[in-house]
Amino acid sequence: PGVLLVQIRVAYVSARHVVVLAEDRTQARRLEAIRRDFVVNVSHELKTPVGALSLLAETVQDAADDPEAVRRFAGRMQAEAQRLSALVQEIIELSRLQVAGALGTLTLVDLDGVLAEAVDRAGTTAAAKRVRLEIGGTHGLEVFGNHDLLVTAVRNLVDNAVAYSGEATRVGVGVRESGDFVEIAVVDQGVGISPSDQERVFERFYRVDRARSRETGGTGLGLSIVKHVAADHGGDVTVWSQPGRGSTFTLRLPRVPVPPPGPIGIPTTT
């Protein structure tokens, strides 16, 4: 930090000219450190469910003559395996988002379709908690982008809103136009997030309450993925929240993505 690392290269020499290229290596060094951190975090996060699974397998073997215990431990093994599978899937998704050209070919994406697909998965969980899911109309708004990635981003926000909401509350999804941008807001009346946690929830693997996140099957990668999808589209995601009262996450997307400055696909720190 604070040190500028420059690589100097002689690019062209003629009788009258010498062209020298100076390349800033600071960014490259920073990226290397981020990647190293990611690998360390991933290994750590994978070890927990794998460890739990192997422990549970041993316990099942020991309890072979108690059918009720076997059933109970097998159920827990299944839950751990599901968690592991979700984790692996999100790690792959995040890694994909970090390479150049992750957006693929851009198409005109209809936001009504995105919202409908995004809330689909949360329906069962919401119904079980009597959480009312309300989707506002998008007034036919469209953006240029990657349909599947946008569904993933909005889905992560809606899944969180439902997961961190109490019984018989409301979760709303609304879309509005704001200049050259379109804003998708996901509003809940759930547990909320303290100001210091609001600054960190978009970091990889960051969870406010590990035990609770484990209960809800969280991986700590959902919001990090949303942040990458937003950035890749030239937009951003922000949070407004009051602990105990609820949270609003806003995904802001340019109707036509602006290419990010510098080489594309550079991962950010989170």
Q: Which residues, numbered 109-168, are part of the site for ligand ADP (CB under 6 A)?
A: 156, 160-161, 164
Q: Does 220 interact with ligand ADP (rule: CB under 6 A)?
A: yes
Q: Which of 218, 234, 235, 267 binds ligand ADP (CB under 6 A)?
A: 218
Q: Which residues, numbered 241-270, are part of the site for ligand ADP (CB under 6 A)?
A: 247
DSSP single-letter state for residue 149: H
Only one residue has tokens 């109309």, namely 137
Q: Does 213 interact with ligand ADP (rule: CB under 6 A)?
A: yes
- Which residues does 248 contact at the CB level (< 8 Å), separation at least 6? 185, 186, 187, 188, 239, 240, 241
Residue pair 122/252 in contact (Cβ under 8 Å)? The answer is: no
CA angle 227, 231, 232 (to 5 degrees): 115
Distance CA 158, CA 169 (A): 14
Distance CA 218, CA 86 (A): 9
Q: Specify the residue, 26 or 248, whose C-beta has the smaller distance to ligand ADP.
A: 248
Residue 240, amino acid:
W
Q: Does 73 interact with ligand ADP (rule: CB under 6 A)?
A: no
Distance CA 241, CA 264 (A): 32
Only one residue has tokens 């099942």, namely 60
Q: Specify the residue, 38 or 144, whose C-beta has the smaller distance to ligand ADP.
A: 38
Of 21-29, 46-54, 75-83, 216-224, the window that binds ligand ADP (rule: CB under 6 A) is: 216-224
Per-residue x/- mask for ligand ADP, residues 182 to 211, rule CB under 6 A? Answer: ------x-xxxx-------x----xxxx--
Q: Which of 49, 145, 222, 235 binds ligand ADP (CB under 6 A)?
A: 222
Q: Specify the residue, 73 or 249, whose C-beta has the smaller distance to ligand ADP.
A: 249
Q: Give how many residues touch ligand ADP by CB under 6 A.
A: 23
Only one residue has tokens 């409301």, namely 170
φ and ψ at residue 178, rounded to 5 degrees:
-145, 90
Q: How far is the CB of 9 from ligand ADP (least distance, A)?
A: 41
- Residues in contact with ligand ADP by CB under 6 A are 156, 160-161, 164, 188, 190-193, 201, 206-209, 213, 218-224, 247
